[in-house]
């Protein structure tokens, strides 16, 4: 079985659990009764250098926009860095546009949805974000149908999730779609995480 490459976008002031939650879920995923690991998870930043996440956590990324491998799944996290900084960074928005044309799944966590919306990826789609930012998503991107009171929204090749910890739920859901509920249940048990599938 070939591994899918999961690329997680990182940037300064990214919300830690937005990226660390999905990183953990996809990294720990395994096929029961087999040594097979279905995902390889890599982190990507614009320049490939260390970023400073919210509250000062330093993370050295694996790749830059220029040298990362072909990705199958992209995860765009949120946080102050997404909604106030990178949303005004044309290089990041263009990278999302380019990846959307290439990857199997484009996903967001929390206010990462604002970056997808800015890139036009969510036009004509249903989507969700952190509850504190739903009004902004609705007002600034009227072509997006904002869904409230849900952990995530699955639009086929595009998935968005609510705030912070909801990215974990979305990750389990996507693994269930690709490899079945038993795989997700096995990973959730390993993580001691309660999921409803």
Question: Quick check: 169 and 195 in contact, CB under 8 A?
Answer: yes
Nearest partner of 18 among 173, 183, 168, judged by Cα = 168
Q: With 0-12 CB in 10 A as exposed, 13-18 as middle and 19+ as buried, what is 124?
A: exposed
In 65-196 the beta strands, taken as DSSP E runs, fall at 73-76, 105-109, 126-127, 145-146, 152-154, 158-161
Q: Which of 110, 114, 122, 159 is catalytic?
A: 110
Residue found under tokens 């300064």: 12
Instruction: Give the SS3 label for residue 70.
Output: coil
CA distance 185 to 22: 15
Catalytic-residue membership of 52: no
Q: Which residues are the active-site residues? A: 110
């Amino acid at each position: 079985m070939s591994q899918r490459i999961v690329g997680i976008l990182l940037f300064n002031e990214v919300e830690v659990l937005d990226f660390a939650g999905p990183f953990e879920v996809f990294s720990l995923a395994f096929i029961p009764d087999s040594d097979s690991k279905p995902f390889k998870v890599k982190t990507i930043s614009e320049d490939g250098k260390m970023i400073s996440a919210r509250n000062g956590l330093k993370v050295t990324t694996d790749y830059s926009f220029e040298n990362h491998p072909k990705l199958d799944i992209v995860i765009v996290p949120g946080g102050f860095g997404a909604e106030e900084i990178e949303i005004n960074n044309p290089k990041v928005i263009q990278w999302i546009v380019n990846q959307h044309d290439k990857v199997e799944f484009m996903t967001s966590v929390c206010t990462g949805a604002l970056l997808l919306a800015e890139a036009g990826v969510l036009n004509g789609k249903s989507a969700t974000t952190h509850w504190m930012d739903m009004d902004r998503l609705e007002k600034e991107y009227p072509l997006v149908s904002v869904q409230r009171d849900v952990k995530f929204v699955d639009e086929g090749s595009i998935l968005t999730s609510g705030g912070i910890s909801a990215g974990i739920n979305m990750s389990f859901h996507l693994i269930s779609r690709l490899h079945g509920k038993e795989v997700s249940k096995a990973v959730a048990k390993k993580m001691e995480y309660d999921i409803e599938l």
